[in-house]
Amino acid sequence: MMSKEKTRKDKPKVKDYMTTDVVVVNPDDTVKEIAKLIKETGHNGFPVVEKGIVKGYIAARHLILREEDEPAYKLMTKDLTLANRETYLEDAARLMFREGISKLPVVRETGRMAGIITNSDVIRSQIERVNPDKILNMKETLEEVHGLDVTVKKDFVKVNSLIPTQKTIYEDELEGRIYELKKGLAEPIIVVEKPNKNVLVDGHHRAVAAKKLGIDEIEAHKLIINRDIKIGLEKIPEKTGIDNLDDIEVVEYASHPLVRLTKLYGKNKNYQKNN
């Protein structure tokens, strides 16, 4: 059984998901300059940094009814919560939730600015995270059933090389995956890699989305088998006649069960009133 300490060490940290290319302002920057920056970047606030050290944070609300020439250091929030790069992401998320903040500046051990973690980064971490138990269980099953030694490796795989094991996917879920990929979300798929063959086990919606977007390679957790023996999963494409991602049927006449259920409740006024 995996110890709690080992499980904790495997969890993502702030440094794994923080944005390092951060737009910052100088303490002497004026309201006029900051307002222009908000318009140019679409951000609603910025860390105030002097010589690499975070001095405060200034948001759009701080600029309201202020003179154009007032400097950031007079308006910024100085009592600022900071995170360390080694902070566990779940701890940073709890901190952001408790304090009601959407952005958390990240500093190095020296106190110098290293990046920023946002609510969007926290959400991205949840979308991208694959349950390690799922991969471990699949590895153990392959080894037990087929008497194999399976190596697990995180790497990239050619999208066009994938052999699907699922005949249909949902259109609404596919659209969601396309949106996520455009936004840079990168949930790895799961693939069984055999000699000259990549069997797609998990992540069919994302794989098809990547193909539709013209993405050549996709990140994957590979379960690598060095022997060319037929595994149980390969019976599915053989029986259904699906050889590649283009053979997967995109179901347009039905929504993903979860989406259909929530939409149904959303339209039911009696349900809304009684709950």
Task: Answer whether 30's CB lies under 8 Å from 70's CB.
Answer: yes
* pLDDT tens per residue, range 106-118: 999 888 999 999 9
Closest residue by Cα to residue 191 from 119, 139, 248: 139
In whole angstroms, give the CA distance from residue 96 to residue 64. Answer: 24
Question: In which band, very low, low, confident or very high, does the pLDDT at 273 lie, cut at 50, 70 and 90?
Answer: very low
What is the percent of the chain with per-residue pLDDT over 90, rounded to a whole number?
55
What is the percent of the chain with per-residue pLDDT over 70, rounded to a whole number?
86
- When mean pLDDT is compared across 120-124, 130-134, 204-208, the lowest value belongs to 130-134
Decide which of 134 and 15 is more confident.
15
- When mean pLDDT is compared across 5-14, 28-37, 50-59, the lowest value belongs to 5-14
- When mean pLDDT is compared across 13-17, 43-47, 229-233, the lowest value belongs to 229-233
**DSSP conformational letter for 159:** G
* pLDDT tens per residue, range 206-247: 999 999 999 999 999 999 998 888 888 888 888 888 889 999
Architecture per CATH, 130-258 = Alpha-Beta Complex (3.90)
Helix axes 119-128, 89-99, angle to 10 degrees: 140
Neighbouring CB atoms inside 10 A of 48's CB total: 27
Rounded to 5 degrees, what are φ and ψ at 50?
A: -130, 120
Amino acid 5 reads: E
Question: In which band, very low, low, confident or very high, does the pLDDT at 8 lie, cut at 50, 70 and 90?
Answer: low
| pLDDT given for residue 214 in this prediction | 96
| pLDDT given for residue 224 in this prediction | 95
Residues 6+ away with beta carbon under 8 Å from 211: 159, 160, 245, 246
Relative to beta strand 197-202, strand 189-194 is antiparallel
- Mean per-residue pLDDT over the chain, rounded: 85
Mean pLDDT value across residues 23-51: 96
Cα-Cα end-to-end distance for the chain: 41
12-126 belongs to CATH 3.10.580.10: yes
Burial of 50 (0-12, 13-18, 19+ CB in 10 A): middle
Domain segments of the chain as ranges:
12-126, 130-258
* pLDDT tens per residue, range 159-211: 999 999 999 998 888 988 898 888 887 788 999 999 989 999 999 999 999 99
| pLDDT given for residue 10 in this prediction | 66
Question: Are domains 12-126 and 130-258 of this chain identical in fold?
Answer: no
| pLDDT given for residue 6 in this prediction | 42
Q: In what order do the strands lie in the sheet with 103-107?
A: 83-84, 103-107, 113-118
| pLDDT given for residue 125 in this prediction | 79
